[in-house]
Amino acid sequence: MKTEQPGLFPKTPTGIDGLDEITFGGIPKGRPTLICGSAGCGKSLFGLQFLERGITRYNEPGVLISFEESKKDIAQNVQSLGINTEELIASNKLRIDYVRVDRAEIEETGEYDLEGIFIRLNYAIESIGAKRVVLDTIESLFGGIENTAILRAEIRRLFQWIKDKGITAIVTGERGEKTLTRQGLEEYVSDCVILLDFRVVNQIATRRLRIVKYRGSTHGTNEYPFLIDEQGISVLPITSLKLNHTVSTEIVSTGIPALDKHFQKGGIPRGSSLLLTGSAGTAKTILASFFAASSCQRGEATLYFSFEESADQLVRNMKSVGLDLMPFVKSGKLLIHSSRPSLQGLELHLLMLHKLIDQHNPRTVIIDPISSLLNVGIISEVSDMLVRLIDTLKIKGINAFFTSLTHLTGGVEKDRTVDAVSSLADVWIRVENEMQDKHRLRGLQIIKVRGMGHPIDLQKFKITDHGVQFVGRKKKSASRKR
């Protein structure tokens, strides 16, 4: 993770996956950070996860002042995310204080101020030696005050009190109609402002995060998709990755010895991205499965992302060609993750893939097929996603195998994902079917291999009960291309 130079700007790591990367180390230490957004976007969870990660990862006690939910409700809400607030409270690392504010009981007077809140907050901080504080949400505290002068004065006073106390704080706020918050002031007095957004496009829900401002520090300026699952919040950075990754000279097998012989060095370089294209029924999934099995046989963890078949169906179907994937699945070497593309948006598919890569540390990743992603995004979005994915896999030195379904138009195969990815792939193989004398003949052609010679003519092969067998070439002598 990229961080700023030590001592240049003090920061507190949030512990939220991906967020510390785009903030270059965390949120400002000893200062207030505003988390704003509409209802249901994840503000409260963001704050509580900030406290929980601070306790479990950095040994920093925290205080949550809640103006909307009781301690019991909070405990129940986050239990499904693996956060045990009762255990943290019992260990004297977390303190939750529910402050009930009834707007009907608020009466504006010239003497109105937050002194009572400061006393409770200060007591909670000192009782456990807290380093982190979350106030959730600020609208509940000021919602009944209509006097703008009093409102602005007390908001400024609250944020200044936090700074003077030297506490790293997160303050959550509801988004206004034309401003980031309902009062329209909090974003100006905060040192860091993070906007959470929950939108629905083409019936696909997507959560996104944007750092609106960060005083005294550089930060990522794009919108970043984030996911809320059983492990909490995860943010996917979408930074422009530089082409400075290292490469390997090691050669790995495709899983089919006869196919390996068509590569000048007996296989493809480790960490390469391989694109396999062809129309329906051209054995793309079979070739991808043999590639996965080869990785497992080398003792490497392998991740198979399937958009068309369930794990059980894939295992069953491969047995018909003499390939038994079940031992690899049972040993944990092969993880088959099956889901429909329409389950979630493109960014969340990419984020899920990132999470699985971090959890299982695979040496090989297979996506079958990438063309299915067009069902949930336009070609430019799919292309952008695949570029980020390929760059990420290259940086980690992971073998990548992508299949793509193409369509015949006037005898020519066309596909928009091929146009987007073919120039990025290190290896491009095309498979096809041809009818001769009422018999189907399968063909394979290596279109390109970066840095390695290969035959350019069409190679005939067939699928048998014992796997893939090459049966000869279209021409007797194969020319090689660099």
pLDDT given for residue 190 in this prediction: 80
pLDDT given for residue 479 in this prediction: 46
* Stretch 234-246: mean pLDDT: 63
pLDDT given for residue 234 in this prediction: 82
* Stretch 66-75: mean pLDDT: 87
Q: Is the pLDDT of residue 5 over 60?
A: no
User: What phi, psi does 37 have (nearest 5°)?
Assistant: 165, 170
End-to-end CA, the chain? 37
The residue ranking higher by pLDDT, 207 or 55, is 55
Domains in the chain (CATH in brackets) are 11-235 (3.40.50.300), 251-481 (3.40.50.300)
Distance CA 365, CA 94 (A): 40
Per-residue pLDDT reduced to its tens digit, 431-482: 988 877 777 788 999 999 988 888 888 889 989 898 888 886 544 444 455 5
Number of H helices, E strands in the chain: 15, 26
pLDDT given for residue 207 in this prediction: 82
The residue ranking higher by pLDDT, 250 or 476, is 250
Q: Is the pLDDT of residue 110 over 50?
A: no
Angle at 198 between CA 194 and CA 199, to 5 degrees: 130
pLDDT given for residue 117 in this prediction: 81
Per-residue pLDDT reduced to its tens digit, 252-310: 999 999 999 999 999 999 989 999 998 888 999 999 999 999 999 999 999 999 988 99
Per-residue pLDDT reduced to its tens digit, 397-438: 899 999 988 876 555 556 666 766 777 888 999 998 887 777
Range with lowest mean pLDDT among 88-102, 361-375, 382-396, 402-416 = 402-416
pLDDT given for residue 454 in this prediction: 87
Per the CB < 8 A criterion, the answer to whether 353 and 388 are in contact is no
pLDDT given for residue 335 in this prediction: 94
Q: How far is CA 189 from CA 33, 35, 164, 184, in A?
A: 10, 13, 14, 10
pLDDT given for residue 476 in this prediction: 43
* Stretch 129-147: mean pLDDT: 78
Closest CA to 429 of 271, 266, 273, 261: 273
pLDDT given for residue 6 in this prediction: 46
Query: Does the N-terminal peptide bond of residue 137 adopt cis geometry, omega within 30 degrees of 0?
Result: yes
Confidence of residue 64 (pLDDT cuts 50, 70, 90): very high
On average, the pLDDT of the chain sits at 82
Angle at 213 between CA 209 and CA 219, to 5 degrees: 75
Angle at 231 between CA 228 and CA 234, to 5 degrees: 50
Count CB neighbours of 115 within 10 A.
Answer: 10
pLDDT given for residue 100 in this prediction: 74
**Residue 401, beta-bridge partner list:** 274, 366
Distance CA 340, CA 308 (A): 7
C-alpha 351, offset from chain centre: 2
pLDDT given for residue 475 in this prediction: 46
pLDDT given for residue 396 in this prediction: 87
**Residue 192, beta-bridge partner list:** 33, 214
pLDDT given for residue 342 in this prediction: 66
The residue ranking higher by pLDDT, 461 or 143, is 461
Q: Is the pLDDT of residue 369 over 50?
A: yes
Per-residue pLDDT reduced to its tens digit, 155-205: 788 888 888 999 999 999 887 666 666 665 666 678 899 999 887 766 667
Per the CB < 8 A criterion, the answer to whether 314 and 305 are in contact is no
pLDDT given for residue 299 in this prediction: 93
The residue ranking higher by pLDDT, 234 or 110, is 234
Distance CA 87, CA 232 (A): 18
